[in-house]
Structure 1
Amino acid sequence: MNKHLIPLIAIVAFACTSSPKEAKRYDVGQIITPQGEMLFWLYDDTPTHKASFIKLANESYWDSLSFNRVIENFVIQGGCPDTPEGFSDSPYLLDPEIKPTHNHVYGAVGAGRDGNPEKLSAGCQFYIVHRKDGIPRLDGDYTIFGQVFKGLDVLNKIATMDTDSLDAPLERVPLDVNIIKMTEEELRQSGFEPGTQP
């Protein structure tokens, strides 16, 4: 055999046996409740809020908490300790990342805050917009860091539950919050196109 062919054969053999490039996977927020599962895209242009959500989800921070504020045609909200003064117990505050391209549309995921003038977000508190035509009066005042793309029926089930005078559901809605990895193909099959705003 021609001695010059041996290295070429080895290269071809290696190329044939090496595994194909693994598909890129994206971080996706997952919220599991007794009413079902919601999946939402985490925006790259709100990196502090995205990183904070991933951190707390991976630490199972929310898994003993609930959606403790539910207002039909407005928002479902939770994440901070289940008390009326829950915001004060946030583990930390986040600088605002308010973007004109991220508005309070149906299924938008935002960071809760009190009335502080710096518009600092509570690290643990989040809400999901339930109003079908959005809540434009909140645009520019709160950080929107994600968008639900699967489970809007679950959002509706929770938002229409019976509540008490403090807007707390009469039936507790516990949270199981995770970060899952999805490929572009898996995202498309779930109704979301990576790189676009739903």
Structure 2
Amino acid sequence: MHRANFIFLTKIKYFNTTEIYRVAKNFVIQGGNSDETYTVKQRRLYGNYLIKPEFRNNRRHKYGALAAARQWEKNPNKLSSPFEFYMVHNRNGAHHLNNEHTVFGEVISGFDTMDKISRVKVGVDEWPTDDINITVEILD
């Protein structure tokens, strides 16, 4: 379900109006949100639904894992946000997140881009000081 959701949002170009909004050094790079009009309209159109967790032993939080973000507090069922995601940017992984967040894909190329993003200046809240806009596409 997580993978299908990500593909659907990619095909309607939802992510192309969002940005990387969290860069936690040597941990994760998180994106999928913005205040852009199109983004807000899409969230309203489809509703702010949540996705049930899909934990599989072969999908772990290794370096380059693509996973669904979720509300941490007041979310005992570990329901995922359909709109926000993160990539693990720690060469040792982030295995403490296994069975906490659903991994639904992985980065297979572009690690140099992840490295470049990881070096941007961020505030104390881990938000980049300059916007990092996203373009996501599916390659056949």
For the residues of structure 2 that align with 1:62 and 1:92, how far apart are their CA atoms?
Answer: 17
Equivalent runs, 1:99-178 vs 2, <5 Å: 99-115=56-72, 116-178=75-137
For the residues of structure 2 that align with 1:130 and 1:139, how far apart are their CA atoms?
Answer: 15
Q: Which runs of 5+ in 2 are unaligned?
A: 36-42
For the residues of structure 2 that align with 1:134 and 1:49, how far apart are their CA atoms?
Answer: 20
For the residues of structure 2 that align with 1:95 and 1:140, how far apart are their CA atoms?
Answer: 12
CA deviation after TM superposition for structure 1 residue 117, in Å: 0.7
Larger radius of gyration: 1
TM-score (norm 2): 0.86
For the residues of structure 2 that align with 1:54 and 1:152, how far apart are their CA atoms?
Answer: 21
| Number of residues of Structure 1 aligned to a counterpart in Structure 2 | 129
CA deviation after TM superposition for structure 1 residue 171, in Å: 1.9
For the residues of structure 2 that align with 1:54 and 1:136, how far apart are their CA atoms?
Answer: 25
For the residues of structure 2 that align with 1:106 and 1:113, how far apart are their CA atoms?
Answer: 19
CA deviation after TM superposition for structure 1 residue 121, in Å: 0.5
Deviations 1:19-52 (A, max 9, x none): xxxxxxxxxxxxxxxxxxxxxxxxxxxxx01110
CA deviation after TM superposition for structure 1 residue 81, in Å: 3.1
Moved over 4 A (4+): none
Equivalent runs, 1:1-198 vs 2, <5 Å: 48-81=1-34, 91-115=48-72, 116-181=75-140
One-letter identity of the residue aligned with 1:108: A
TM-score (norm 1): 0.62
CA deviation after TM superposition for structure 1 residue 138, in Å: 0.8
One-letter identity of the residue aligned with 2:19: S
**Aligned-CA RMSD value:** 1.6
Deviations 1:133-184 (A, max 9, x none): 0111111111000011100111111012110121111121101111221xxx
CA deviation after TM superposition for structure 1 residue 91, in Å: 3.0
One-letter identity of the residue aligned with 2:126: D
Q: Which runs of 5+ in 1 are unaligned?
A: 1-47, 83-88, 182-198
For the residues of structure 2 that align with 1:91 and 1:56, how far apart are their CA atoms?
Answer: 13
One-letter identity of the residue aligned with 1:137: H
CA deviation after TM superposition for structure 1 residue 106, in Å: 0.6
For the residues of structure 2 that align with 1:165 and 1:133, how far apart are their CA atoms?
Answer: 24
- The 3-state SS of whatever aligns with 2:70 is coil
- The 3-state SS of whatever aligns with 1:133 is coil
One-letter identity of the residue aligned with 2:124: S
